[in-house]
Amino acid sequence: MRRFYRGIFIVLIALRYGLDELVLTSFQKPWLRVVARIVSVGRKLDAPRGQRLREALERLGPIFVKFGQVLSTRRDLLPADIADELAWLQDRVPPFDSRVAIATIERAFRRPVGEVFVEFDETPVASASIAQVHFATVRNTDGALREVAVKVLRPGMQGVIEKDLELMAMMARWVENLSTDAKRLKPREVVAEFDKYLHDELDLVREAANAAQLRRNMAQLDLVLIPEMFWDLCQPEVIVMERMKGVPIAQLDRLRAAGVDIPKLARDGVTIFFTQVFRDGFFHADMHPGNIQVSLEPATFGRYISLDFGIIGTLTESDKEYLAQNFAAFFRRDYKRVAELHLESGWVPGGTRVDELEAAIRTVCEPYFDRPLKEISLGMVLMRLFQTSRRFHVEIQPQLVLLQKTLLNIEGLGRQLDPELDLWHTAKPFLEKWMSDQIGPRKLFEQLRAEAPRYAKLLPQLPRLLHDFLENRPADHRRELLELLAAQKRTNKLLQAIIYGGMGFVLGLIVMQVLMRVRLF
């Protein structure tokens, strides 16, 4: 019954704000426009369409607000007036009462807010779908004052999200039962992934841990700043972090006036994204403009400031390798390799013809090469790839849904910063270097070093394990094993000779270079 009432509520909100009329008028068919006029009779729909859509999404709750945040970055898909209005959802959702925020803080820390902070600004500086932020001042153990940002969870979020997720799960089951084609899209698994990430957002300590991990990962990149967490002041409903001072990335005129290199900023954003995805497999998955600022401080001028770490995407090593190989093949326009990777991964049925899949992928992707970002809609590319995947029965991978969403956010951000940005040209060198590192000697050395403790523990046990194995095997198998061991010894000697020879060759080159430098001097 809760799902039923929630469904009725969604329909009523859609009717109240005229979303049905908004959808019908977006079509070019004259008869649909006539229907839109008919259904709007008796309703006062004087407010602009973008404002009505924004207010409806705010009224429906955090899941719908997040949907609006993603849409706000897709100015290639939405009219400008709607995109501008939805941009308010990024960090300007109506705040909740500051007295409620103070009560939440005092409940979390079990003491008055005046004992926690030296100063606390009751006026929130940002308000989003899940939480809002206040500025404050704390005193360090050494007595020094530090400016901090206090993030407080919006009250009542658990119940609202549970209702929406239950409704989405029910709709996913309906879709699977009503359409055989929908099963390959795995709607229930996708909803389950969304469920996981939203519940993670409701635990602010998890967000603080995500921020700490990203801060470590990005420390050597010198392109992005991530706030330090004050762990003594972190609770599931309240977290306290270093206050970051920057200009919202959407304020391009202000950034240009300050002398920020906007095209470089766009390229740096692509580098940050691909570093987090392919190097670390741990990426910020909520990168809309409301969560990104740019530093104007002299020591960190022009660097990104990343905020809000409630939604983090992760990839396994196999996911990273598969995606990197796909991207690398795509940048080389090797569509046959892309098709083969789909077969090798099991994403398409085994009987699929490689040449047919290759031709379909080429048809979708080839028109978009060597064109600036302003002439490319990644949303349209993904839509056409989606149509192609349905034809070849490609199974959608739920763990990659967040990555696809983040890639759309990155494209939308890049489009705002520098429409001339060549997304492929910027990303290609990074991916090629990553692939080289994955298959090169450096990667082999890292793997050996990681496995060294295990090998050190296992090696002393090998003679006993081999003896036990030989004792328990039949004679004929024992003979085969001894022959195999003898062959292995010969192989080991050959490998040693190759390694020593290679080391000698490298040493000889070094000696020659030293002698040449001595002669030059």
Can you tell me the mean pLDDT for 315-342?
78
Q: What mean pLDDT comes out for the span 341-360? A: 78
Q: Are 70 and 96 in contact (CB under 8 A)?
A: no
Residue 228 burial class via C-beta count within 10 angstroms: exposed 0-12, middle 13-18, buried 19 and up: middle
Give the model's pLDDT for residue 259: 94
The pLDDT of residue 106 is 95
* The pair of three-digit structure tokens given for residue 141, joined into one six-digit string: 């153990």
Q: How far is Cα 306 from Cα 300, in angstroms, rounded to an integer?
A: 13
Q: 97 by DSSP, 3-state: which?
A: coil
The answer, yes or no, to whether residue 498 has pLDDT greater than 60, is no
Lowest-confidence segment of 54-63, 70-79, 170-179, 359-368 by average pLDDT:
70-79
Question: What mean pLDDT do residues 74-84 have?
Answer: 69
Within 10 A of 149 (CB to CB), how many other CB atoms are there?
A: 18
Residue 119: band (very low, low, confident or very high) from pLDDT cuts 50, 70, 90: very high
- Residue 520: its pLDDT value, please? 40
Report DSSP letters for 398-412, one per residue: GGGHHHHHHHHHHHH
Q: For strand 304-306 and strand 224-225, is the pairing parallel, antiparallel, or unpaired?
A: parallel
The arithmetic mean of pLDDT across residues 10-37, rounded, is 65
- Here the tokens at position 88 are 């308010």
| Least confident stretch, 17-21, 24-28, 319-323, 437-441 | 24-28
User: Predicted confidence band at 521 (pLDDT cuts at 50, 70, 90)?
Assistant: very low
Report the distance separating Cα 235 and Cα 328, nearest Å. 43
pLDDT at 409: 74
Task: Give the model confidence (pLDDT) of 301-311 as tens digits.
Answer: 999 999 989 88
The pLDDT-based confidence of 297 (bands split at 50, 70, 90) is very high
Q: Ranked by mean pLDDT, which of 207-211, 365-369, 515-519 comes out on top?
A: 207-211
Alpha carbon distance 18, 234 (integer Å): 42
Question: Which range in 235-239, 430-434, 447-451 is most confidently predicted, on average pLDDT?
Answer: 235-239
pLDDT digits (tens, 9 = 90+) for 431-440: 677 767 665 5
> Can you name the residues that pair with 149 across neighbouring β-strands?
135, 241
- Please give the distance of CA 199 from its chain centroid, rounded to a whole number: 17
The reported pLDDT for the residue numbered 148 is 96
Catalytic residues: 286
SS3 of 200-269: the string is HHCCHHHHHHHHHHHHHHCCCCCCEECCCECHHHCECCEEEEECCCCEECCCHHHHHHCCCCHHHHHHHH
Tell me the pLDDT band of 518, cut-offs 50, 70 and 90: very low
- The tokens for 307 are 């905020």
Q: What is the pLDDT of residues 151-185, one digit of tens each?
A: 999 888 777 777 777 777 776 777 666 655 555 55
Mean pLDDT on 47-60: 82
Residue 322 banded pLDDT, cuts 50, 70, 90: confident
Identify the residue with better confidence: 125 or 508.
125
Q: What DSSP element (H or E) covers 189? A: helix 187-201
Q: For residues 159 and 165, what is the distance between their CA atoms, to the nearest angstrom? A: 10
Task: Decide: residue 468, CB within 10 A, 0-12 exposed, 13-18 middle, 19+ buried.
Answer: exposed
The two structure tokens encoding residue 109 = 């820390």
Q: What is residue 239's predicted lDDT score, i.e. its pLDDT?
A: 96
Of these ranges, 35-39, 328-332, 463-467, the one predicted with the greatest mean pLDDT is 328-332
**pTM for this model (two decimals):** 0.68
441-446: average pLDDT: 65
H-run or E-run covering 516: helix 475-520
Question: Can you give the pLDDT at residue 117?
Answer: 95
Residue 377 pLDDT exceeds 70:
no
